[in-house]
């Protein structure tokens, strides 16, 4: 996952006319990664995953009282 700054930098270097291999050398990312971001129309945004609901959530209050 690339940060927004890295994505902007790749876009900028592509607009400057650099090849995928040159951008790969400059940024240190794989050519496949550069190519992926070259053909994306939108910048990819990654966020925090939603917390997963546990099967035991309905019983947690009851389990607090049962401690041995």
Per-domain residue ranges of the chain? 1-46
Which pLDDT tens digits describe the chain residue by residue (68 residues)? 788 889 999 999 999 999 999 999 999 999 999 999 998 877 767 667 788 888 888 888 877 766 66
| Whole-number Å distance between alpha carbons of 61 and 63 | 5
Predicted TM-score of the model (pTM)? 0.62
Maximal CA-CA distance, the chain: 69
Q: What is the pLDDT of residue 17?
A: 96
| Whole-number Å distance between alpha carbons of 32 and 42 | 17
């Amino acid at each position: 996952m690339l940060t927004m700054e890295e994505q902007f930098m790749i876009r900028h270097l592509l607009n400057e006319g650099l090849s995928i291999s040159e951008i790969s050398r400059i940024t240190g990312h794989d050519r496949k990664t550069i190519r992926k971001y070259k053909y994306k129309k939108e910048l990819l945004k990654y966020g925090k995953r939603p917390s997963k609901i546990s099967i035991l959530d309905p019983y947690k209050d009851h389990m607090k009282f049962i401690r041995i």
